[in-house]
Structure 1
Amino acid sequence: MNNKKIIISLMVALGMVGATLGLSSVASADNPIPSTTSISPSLASVGSSSFIMTVNGSNFVPGSMVHFNGMARSTNYISPAQLTATILASDLNTAGTFSVTVVNSVPGGGTSNPQAFTVGNLAPTISSISPSAVASGSASFILTVNGANFMPGSVVHFNGMARSTNYISPAQLTATINAQDVVNSGWFNITAVNPGPGGGISNTQVLTVTGNNPVPTLSSISPNSAVAGGGGFTLTLYGAGFMQGSWVRFNGLARTTTFVSSNQLTAVIPAFDIATGGTYAVDVANPAPGGASSNAILFNVSSVTQTPGLPNTGFGSESKSLDWGAVMLAAMMAIGLLLSAIVMRRVWFAK
């Protein structure tokens, strides 16, 4: 009887030990190490407001915490595969790439692999520049650029070339424009560029450099003559100070002109310009500012000459068109007079 009690007591004791060990095993189960596969969104602009980030992965547990750049952020457990977290506006004050991880607490647990979150600079915009026009040949000067989204590190570009820039505020920059930038007249693009990440190039404002275009000079033309009534042709002009926008004038009238170089132009001379014999002035004009007309070279249009009293015979110094009908009539009249004289001579001798 005593033996049975002993056996029963041993079984109860062993059962209690087993139960205790089981409970201890359950209580000490380790949390898994989390893993992340993606985050959404994965980028924001500098200065953005706070927002909710979604973190996707596996092995998430109640109590998992999302960390932004190593700092825990308020986290909601959605499922073993998803969490959401509040990213603060203060997290977005500086451009850069920041690590997003998930941490599971002990026992076990650990830190997940990271996902990259980019806080990017904004693209700048320009609303105006001052001054917006300068004279060619000016000394270097300070250009003020007004707009938005400027930052330390913004750079003003003159015609695509970076210029020394001072950051004044998010709405203003100043830049040094060099004297060599404004040697020649023209229109030049002004832009601002913000560095990455993000950033980019602004819209364009135009700086006008005013100045005097050169006065052209004309040294020769080819050809320099033609025959009246000929067809149209291309005239080549040689000289200096030619430019895009130069035009050729024939007898004071502008003709279609092609710029070849600063020393050569070509112009289309239509047939009606040489329909009548004469001497015509050819010159070149450059547009304002500055510019003006070149010296003139004479173009000779020659025609067939005529002898006075004998129309259109092709002799003489008078310049007229040849009339073949009149020539034939004169010839027939001369032959008639000659025949009449011969007949009269025969009649005379017959008497």
Structure 2
Amino acid sequence: MKCRIAAFAVTFGMLATAQAQAQAQAHERVLVDVPLSISFPTKINNVGDILGYGSEINGLYPVLLHNSVVVRLPALNPIIVIGMRNSYILNNNSQIMYFGYTSGSSGDISTRVLDTKTGITVDIGKIPGYPSTIGTSLNDSGDIVGYAYSPTGRLPFLWRNGQFSQLPLPVGAPVGAAYSYRSLNNRGDVLGDMSNGIDGVSVLIWRDGVPTFLPMPTPANRDISLNQFFAFNDKDQVLTTYHDYHYVTSNYHILTLTTPPIIDNYIGTVTSEPISFNNLGDVLERYAYILNGSPGNGWAYRLTNIPLDGIVSGGHTYQFVDAYCINDNVDVLGKVYQVNSGIIYKTVVYKAIPAPVPQITGLTPDRAIPGMPSIPVTINGAGFDPDSTVLLNGSVQASSHYLSATQMQVVIPASLMAQPRTMAIKVVTPAPGGGASNTQYFNVTVPRATILNINPNRLFPGAGAAQITINGLDFDPGAVVTVNDTYTITPTFVSPYQLTAIVPSSVTDTAGSYFVRVVNPGWSNASTPAPLTVALPAPIISLISPDRVGVGLTSLKLNLYGPYNYQPTVKVSFNGGAPVTPEAITGSRVTVPVPSSLLSNPGNIMVRLVDSFEHGGSSAPATLAVATRPTLTGLTPNHTAVGAGAVTVTLSGSNFEASSTITINNGAPLAMAFVSPTQLRVLVPSSVTAVKGNYVVRVVNTGYSNFSNPQAFTVTP
């Protein structure tokens, strides 16, 4: 980064690309006052350190503002600073390079580097035969370029890792050509020039020590002016000034070292001069204007074509009247005048507030049909800035504009939607802060298909190739059908709502759960998946016998019946437990023992047939009820005389049901009257009372082996 050490106001400069131009105009800003103890500020680095000079009766002395504290820099002895305001350079690692006469010897100039973080000063030394070394540029790695001087000539040097070296001249360089190293960037590339006094000045770059001439065409009626301003940044951009033959006006251009190189000439109708050049490609410039009674020195200042005036801060309006430097955060160091205040001036940093990194969460819409006219797309997300721009496949879109911190908009031109394609969309916010968002994709494609159902959606293993019908929406004549995203089938297009496809035997030969998609032409244009099963039908339980038993059985054989013959591999699961191997499988009947542990407590048992996936898997459940047995506690009356005829008896107990029946001597069930779960009435027939003896009475509830304990009924003589 190069800063012009002069008392001129700052503006942000012309940029080489549309993206860089948006960058220069970036963000909300605030004015931050610089302490009055810095009389002449000269440089601001990326961490906010300000280099400058304080003044006292004997002259100027160097100072550094770091962490809001102004520190007087040491090491002025034995160095006597010459051209004080041009001899100190600050990098982004808080290193300061300075040069001056060695005490007591006016012909002996030394260059030193002060590390302000450690307080260590290093003298870079001398080249034999040259009593003076003058550094002219310092990068963030501490590399220095400059020249050594003696009464007989000058020798350019590169100082790196404590060693001096000279870079080679290009092949074919004129004999006796004079050359200089002017600037170097943070990659260590060196920019310089060569002149033989005949053909003018040639500009060179040394990359990895190899020299290359740069194309620097001079505008008509103008000469290159390397002494006025000549800088090189980390974006491979070279900035050079030009002046006319009479030195009345001057302008500049930027050369971007791409293949081929890009040259941006900034030739206006009035003189414009760069002041500072940063690693983002921003240029601070001044340009001529008519004073009209305003304070200043005949110059105005601007960012691109935006004047740096009318700045409102703290209820006052300011304009720049002096300028010094710009850093990579696009912070401007300069002096402002308070408009309509008389003579109120102050030194400030015109600080850009860092923008957030933009993020995209979605596009509305996110696709279009080929052949559509231009369409506006809303970009939804967060962290958008008024200076954000939209990149479409890497190119800045002039149609993009800011809606809010959560929305941008860009127009997709019809020319890009003539054929199916995918376009990458990003939002880029310039520094300070900012950056590039994640990528979202806009698809020009036919609509995405929707599958409503597949018929049949179950195929039998080993059945060979089988046809399925797919019903849905938005099927394209060019659509294909995929199975498991692996097998691709060309279907028969019936209509936009129906396709037929032949599922190959390579799929139906293997039982399994598959999924089917319809894929219309275009990138990522597949439907959501629909299931397709290759397996026998699931086994079915039509009924079980018995389906209700009394609690407490020690063993039970259960029969399950279905509509078709069961596979010999089928088993039975009770309440989801481990499958039990049947005792017998006879056609459509399965006989299986029920674990006695399940019969010891009342409740419902879920019974399923289970088999391999190929044989259909698991059936729907059937229910086996384990009921609480009825309890009989008494009969009223519990006896009668022989020949008494039919007698009504009341039965007392518990767990009686409306469907309960009564048996005498385990004979045929008798009709009864249900009174409550604890009481029943039954008419003992005359056929029983006609014969004397003891009879056994039981209550029988529905289900297998679901009867009560016995109670005695006596017919006496």
TM normalised by structure 2 equals: 0.25
Q: Larger relative CO (CA 8 A, sep 6+): 1 or 2?
A: 1
Higher helix share: 1
Higher strand share: 2
